[in-house]
Amino acid sequence: MDHIFAKFANATAHLTGHPMTFLACVTAVLLWAIAGPFFGFSETWQLVINTGTTIITFLMVFLIQNTQNRDSAALQTKLDEIIRSSDAEDQFMGIETMTDKELEALHKRCEQAARRSKMMLEKTHTERNARQSRRK
């Protein structure tokens, strides 16, 4: 069942993201608007567009969420594999399951490391420029 739904969700996401689908929806709304005077702008006429858009939106929310969940899981798996196979710290694997507080602490640690690296690079750059100036 999961495989069938995943295929359906992917196909639907691909189809609904297509420019022709957008054009078809714009056309449907224009036709509905043009039909207004013929139906006297009645409540039934309004109910048609309201009901249709509500149903489509309701169903699309679940399809989009499913697609995003799978994409996110695939991306996390790829990143975990890159981390696992590199010299990076293994503690970064699976951080998507950390609490916000834990993520913030890890983020601060990474920012500090980045500042230290930047300072070292600037120091190296300054020293290199000073050596080159002395040679001239």
Question: Per residue in 1-36, pLDDT tens?
Answer: 888 988 888 898 889 989 999 999 999 999 999 999
Q: What phi, psi does 100 have (nearest 5°)?
A: -60, -40
Contact 56, 12 (CB under 8 A): no
Tokens of residue 32, six digits: 């509905």
DSSP class of residue 1 equals -
pLDDT exceeds 80 at position 88: no
Please state the pTM of the whole predicted model: 0.62
The pLDDT score that the predictor gives to residue 44 is: 95
Copy the structure tokens of residue 45.
């006429």
Length of the chain: 136
Q: Is the pLDDT of residue 52 over 90?
A: yes
pLDDT of residue 92: 80
28, 24, 26: which is closest to 15 by C-alpha? Answer: 24
Across all residues in the chain, what is the average pLDDT? 90
| Six-digit token string for 22 | 């957008």
Q: Are the CB atoms for 10 and 67 separated by under 8 Å?
A: yes
**Cα–Cα distance, 114 to 121 (Å, whole number):** 10
Rounded percentage of the chain residues whose pLDDT exceeds 90:
54
